[in-house]
Amino acid sequence: MASRATRRARPQPAAPDPIVAALVGVLGRDRVRDDAAERSLLAHDASVFSGGAAGPVCFPTSTEEVQAVVRTAVAHGRAVVPRGAGTGLAGGAIPLGRPVVVVTTKMNRILDVDLDDRVAWVEPGVVNLDLTTYLRPLGYHFAPDPSSQQACTIGGNVANNSGGPHCLAYGVTGQHVLALDVVLPDGELVRLGGLDAEPPAYDLRGAFIGGEGTLGIATLIAVRITKNPLRVRTLLLAFDTIEDAATTVGSVIAAGIVPAAMEVMDRRITAAVESFVHAGYPLDAGAVLLVEVDGPEEGTAVDAERVVEIGRANGATTVRVAATEEERALLWKGRKTAFGAVAKIAPSYYLQDTVVPRSALPGVLQSVYEIAERHDLMVVNVFHAGDGNLHPLLLFDSREHGAIERVHAAGREIVEVSLAAGGVLSGEHGIGVEKRDYMPLQFSDVDLDHQNRLRRAFDPACRANPGKVLPSGHSCADIQALERVPAGLWG
């Protein structure tokens, strides 16, 4: 029999969270989760960051339910973190301080498609590729196409103002969102933007997009749909060096040609991709450049011929034009699965997301390789070359002592080099916790103060995704009763 002292030493089960019963009353037991396994799973996203702590996890299916969940959180003094598919790479969906996590993946209906006005009304949990798959037989598609489009949701695309390969010509998510129904952090419902060409008053739609869940939760989204092009030509150009490929990108744009997409992959990532998709990528090239032009038949023929001329003038050793739709799709499958193919090289990777002027691409790329070598890391480069959006992947083994620290240091240097070249912190992945503490490298104290004022206008009580985007001293995180979050959240 256990002694009285032993019985006293046994840990007591944690008291139930009082907010859980209230949320169950709103959604029912099956759509409120508070078990340790669920909360642990939702404490992460697709980034390398850890240290999150989720509270109750909710799965609403309507705007009214989102409002009810937010109001319940307010009544219990709890913060709220919206979450889509969790494909984010900057830690934006990692919950800090046990907030209520509002998962919108069950709100996944395409509610209306108006082909005359070229508008689709969708819920935030609609998967990006599912929308295009639905529209394609109708002669349309949704232009923003992140690499994670098979999994990422429209709500997440709005939160991060996501891009993708074809955003060079068509623009990022913000250019394709006309209106949003938003549940504000106090539970009020508002509509931002509208279908009119010039909606009245301030462009709060534009302020909300890219807000990373710090301004509210989008529950209904009106997106612009794009007519499928009459003709598409996809070219693969191979070069001895990545610098030659990058130089070609600038030369094509300088010649007045704006392709639908221009993507570069270096030798290592090309080899990994080819072993996975067998698309016929040249394995002896220092880099490959994918260029896609679309539009009328004659126009695309002229543009493709001119791209080939410019490529050869900049040292292209091989030029290939996809002859069939199947060949084109295979080339793009290789590019879209590049991040997954990294697993053939190393067990872990950290993906950066800075943007630099096209003219600075060759020099910054050289610096990226030098930084990785100095920190004893392997790096592969695959990126949206047309708009200068770099995506260097620092490869490492998290089990190796000191590896994460070296990756962290190299990542900061890449940010610094990019900013010194006239670039910006992020192109499409957002700030989240990853670059929160780098914000003062790009913005002045006055800039950050005004950003915080905007945030507080939407969220005076600082309950919406606290601890994200804005650094200490300019952030709701200083006011909200959060567990302190270590800089970087590396795990």
Q: Is residue 14 part of a domain?
A: no
Instruction: Check whether residue 95 and residue 114 sit in a common domain.
Output: no
* CATH number of 117's domain: 3.30.465.10
In what side-by-side order are the strands of the sheet with 177-183? Answer: 110-114, 119-122, 217-224, 177-183, 189-193
* CATH number of 407's domain: 3.30.70.2740
Closest CA to 212 of 414, 11, 468: 468
Instruction: Check whether residue 395 and residue 310 sit in a common domain.
Output: no
Instruction: Check whether residue 79 and residue 140 sit in a common domain.
Output: no
Instruction: Check whether residue 147 and residue 243 sit in a common domain.
Output: no
pLDDT of residue 324: 95
Q: Is residue 3 part of a domain?
A: no
pLDDT of residue 481: 41
* CATH number of 298's domain: 3.30.70.2190
Domain limit, last residue, from 294, 320, 340: 340
Instruction: Check whether residue 192 and residue 288 sit in a common domain.
Output: no
pLDDT of residue 49: 84
Q: Is residue 5 part of a domain?
A: no
Instruction: Check whether residue 249 and residue 314 sit in a common domain.
Output: yes
Q: How far apart are CA 6 and CA 8, in angstroms?
A: 5
* CATH number of 91's domain: 3.30.43.10
Tokens of 341: 């193919």
Q: Is residue 132 part of a domain?
A: yes
pLDDT of residue 486: 42
Instruction: Write phi, then psi, for 312 (nearest 5 degrees).
Output: -65, -35
Q: What is the tens place of the pLDDT at every residue in 394-435?
A: 999 989 999 999 999 999 999 999 999 999 999 999 999 999
Instruction: Check whether residue 129 and residue 196 sit in a common domain.
Output: yes
Which segments of 167-286 are extended strands (E)?
A: 177-183, 189-193, 217-224, 226-227, 231-239, 261-266
Q: How far apart are CA 398 and CA 367, in angstroms?
A: 24
Instruction: Check whether residue 324 and residue 277 sit in a common domain.
Output: yes
Q: Is residue 41 part of a domain?
A: yes
Task: List, in sequence order, every residue forming a beta bridge with 58; answer none if it has no partner.
Answer: 32, 102
Domain limit, last residue, from 340, 367, 401: 340
Q: How far apart are CA 257 and CA 237, in angstroms?
A: 16
Q: What's 153's DSSP letter?
A: B
Q: Is residue 430 part of a domain?
A: no
Q: What is the tens place of the pLDDT at every residue in 431-459?
A: 999 999 999 999 999 999 999 999 999 99
Q: Is residue 472 part of a domain?
A: yes
Domain count, the chain: 5
Domain limit, last residue, from 227, 252, 286: 227
Instruction: Check whether residue 128 and residue 162 sit in a common domain.
Output: yes
pLDDT of residue 199: 74
CA distances from 202 to 193, 219, 277, 454, 457 (A): 9, 21, 47, 13, 13
Instruction: Check whether residue 76 and residue 118 sit in a common domain.
Output: no
Q: What is the tens place of the pLDDT at every residue in 290-317?
A: 999 999 999 999 999 999 999 999 999 9
Check: pTM over 0.85? Answer yes or no: yes
DSSP labels for 332-381? HHHHHTHHHHGGGT-SEEEE---B--GGGHHHHHHHHHHHHHHTT-EEEE
Q: Is residue 7 part of a domain?
A: no
Per-residue pLDDT 10s for the chain (491 aa) are: 444 444 555 555 556 789 999 999 999 999 999 999 999 999 999 998 878 999 999 999 999 999 999 999 999 999 999 999 999 999 999 999 999 999 999 999 999 999 999 999 999 999 999 999 999 999 999 999 999 999 999 999 999 999 999 999 999 999 999 999 999 999 999 999 999 877 778 889 999 999 999 999 999 999 999 999 999 999 999 999 999 999 999 999 999 999 999 999 999 999 999 998 999 999 999 999 999 999 999 999 999 999 999 999 999 999 999 999 999 999 999 999 998 899 889 999 999 999 999 999 999 999 999 999 999 999 999 999 999 999 999 999 989 999 999 999 999 999 999 999 999 999 999 999 999 999 999 999 999 999 999 999 999 999 999 999 999 777 665 444 454 444 444 44
Instruction: Check whether residue 123 and residue 216 sit in a common domain.
Output: yes
Q: What is the tens place of the pLDDT at every residue in 34-44?
A: 999 999 999 99
Instruction: Check whether residue 223 and residue 244 sit in a common domain.
Output: no
Full domain range(s) for residue 223: 110-227
